[in-house]
Every structure is written in structure tokens, then in C-alpha cells.
Amino acid sequence: MKNKILVIAVHPDDETLGCGGTLIKHKANGDKIHWLICTTLNKNHSYYQNREKEISKVSKLFNFDSIHNLSFETTKVDQYSINEIIEKISKVINKVKPNIIYLPFKEDVHTDHKKIFEASYSCTKSFRSPFIKKIYMMETLSETEFAPSLKRESFIPNTFVDISKFINKKIAIMKVYKSEIDKYPFPRSERSIKALATFRGSTSGCKFAESFVLLKEIL
């Protein structure tokens, strides 16, 4: 049976940084992949039109089966009520009916990430969404690595995906987000992305890998 995947990206580019290679691999295996973007730039922002073009291009490169945008204003998610966020995310989950979900890491330093994780995870209760069988938290460069270096707050992966065949396409897609990528040692640089994938690959016995925390699996 083919999978239905939903990646919940707090900001456009989180899907690429956190699980871009894995999404490409899912698609290559015949799975359906769906993209939920939670935030958007204010329409008066000087980069708004460019960002919309980037999203369109990224969508085509991944070949997403559907895209959903909640249009919460970026960096201001904490100004929305948790009930409003849960309601909007729940509608998308019930429309897509994914069996696998990728979420932001609960301890990412960005307040938008924390609030979206809290709301998203609340939508995954098995009595409300029995079709969800696996829930992962993903590792997002420039957010996850800055979580406090304490056991409870640290990203400790327990699942690894070999993306050796897909690392170049992941980086090519990331480069579409021209304002989000920069030269090393910037965290969202080509070198940093490859370095993390190399490290995770060495942990799991392959050239390049993405890593995740498996929160729940129903067999």
C-alpha cells in the first residue's frame, strides 16, 4: 500500500531543510506527498511576491499532490489562539488523511515552531485521526540545533532515512529560497546542509541521511 504523507512546514523552506530528501524519496517510491504551509509574509512585505513565486517553483520541483496554506503571519503565530490554529490544521489533516506526518521539533527555538508543534500534535489523537500511523519530528537547520543542550530539550534522533540519491535535488530546491540560504558558516548554507546530512549518514551507515524523532507508530 502506498503512503500518504503530510509535512507541516511552519515556514516555507522548513519542508526542504527538515525532510526534503525524504519527501523526494517518498515520491520516487510512488507515495502521495502533501504540503501544509502554516505562515506567510504580510502582503505588504517587499519580498511577498518573490516568496509566492518561490513556493510555486518548489511545489513543482517536489511535485506535491496538494498544497495548503494557513496564512498565519510569519513570526506572529503566538498572537493567534491555539484553538484557531488547531481548527485550521485539523481541517487539512482530515482532508488529506495522511498515514505519515512530519512535524517541527517541539523544542525548536522559534516561537512559531513551538506553537505549530503544539497545535499539530493535538490534532493527531488516534480517536480523532485513526488514519495516522506514524508521527515524526524533523530536524530543521537554524532552529533545531539551537535548542537548549539539555536532555529533555535536545534533538535525539531514532530514525534515519538514506537520502544519498536525493541530496543534490534537496540542495537544488533549497537554493530556490534565495533569501533563506547564504554562504557558510550560515546554518542554511549548502555546506551546512551537506555537513548535517553527512553526519547523520555516518551515524546510519550511508553517505547522506536525514534524521527524525519517531513520536508514535501504530502497527
Reduce the DSSP state of residue 217 to 3 states and report it: strand
Greatest Cα-to-Cα distance within the chain, rounded to the nearest angstrom: 48
Position 1 confidence tier, pLDDT thresholds 50, 70, 90: confident
pLDDT of residue 180: 93
Opening angle at CA 179, ends 186 and 85, nearest 5: 100
Cβ atoms 167, 16 nearer than 8 A = no
pLDDT of residue 152: 82
Pick from 126, 145, 217: which is nearest to 185 by CA? 145
**Would you state the CATH architecture of domain 4-217?**
3-Layer(aba) Sandwich (3.40)
pLDDT of residue 103: 98
pLDDT of residue 99: 98
Percent of the chain with pLDDT over 90: 93
> What integer is the mean pLDDT of 81-99?
98
The one-letter amino acid at 114: K
pLDDT of residue 147: 86
In three-state form (DSSP H/G/I as H, E/B as E, the rest C), the secondary structure along 150-212 is CCCCCCCCCEEEECCCCHHHHHHHHCCCCCCCCCCCCCCCHHHHHHHHHHHHHHHCCCCEEEE
Does the pLDDT value for residue 113 go beyond 80? yes
Opening angle at CA 192, ends 51 and 69, nearest 5: 25
- Domain ranges within the chain, ordered by starting residue: 4-217
Query: Does pTM surpass 0.85?
Result: yes
Contacts of 1 (CB under 8 A, 6+ apart): none
User: Mean pLDDT over all residues of the chain?
Assistant: 96
Pairing relation of β-strands 4-9 and 100-104? Answer: parallel
Per-residue model confidence as pLDDT tens digits over 176-199: 999 999 999 999 999 999 999 999
